[in-house]
Amino acid sequence: MAPQGERRLIVNADDLGITEGVNEAIIAAHERGSVSSATLMVNQAATEHAAALAGQHPGLGVGLHFNLTLGRPVAESAVPSLTDGQGQLLSRKAFERRALTGRIRGRDVARELAAQAEAFRRLGLPMSHVDSHQHVHALPVVLRAVAGYCRGHGLPMRVPWVSGAAPGRSLRRRVREQGLQALLHYGLRRWGRDVQTNRGFTSVFDLAAEADAVGEDTYRRLLARVRGDPVELMVHPARVDDRLQALIQIASFGAAEGHLLQQLSLGALAGELGYRLISYRDLTPA
Note whether residue 43 is domain-resident: yes
pLDDT of residue 123: 98
The yes-or-no verdict on residue 177 having pLDDT over 90 is no
Split into its structural domains, the chain has a count of 1
Note whether residue 195 is domain-resident: yes
| Averaged pLDDT, 245-272 | 95
Note whether residue 1 is domain-resident: no
pLDDT of residue 233: 98
For 13-39, write each residue's pLDDT tens digit.
Answer: 999 999 999 999 999 999 999 999 999
The yes-or-no verdict on residue 77 having pLDDT over 90 is no
Note whether residue 181 is domain-resident: yes
pLDDT of residue 6: 87
The yes-or-no verdict on residue 2 having pLDDT over 80 is no
| Averaged pLDDT, 154-172 | 79
Note whether residue 202 is domain-resident: yes
Note whether residue 112 is domain-resident: yes
Note whether residue 245 is domain-resident: yes
pTM of the model: 0.94
∠ Cα 6 222 216 (to 5°): 105
pLDDT band at 142 (very low <50, low <70, confident <90, very high): very high
Q: What percent of the chain has pLDDT over 90?
A: 86
pLDDT band at 216 (very low <50, low <70, confident <90, very high): very high
Residue 95 sits in which domain range?
Answer: 7-283
Q: Which CATH number characterizes residue 35's domain?
A: 3.20.20.370
The yes-or-no verdict on residue 257 having pLDDT over 90 is yes
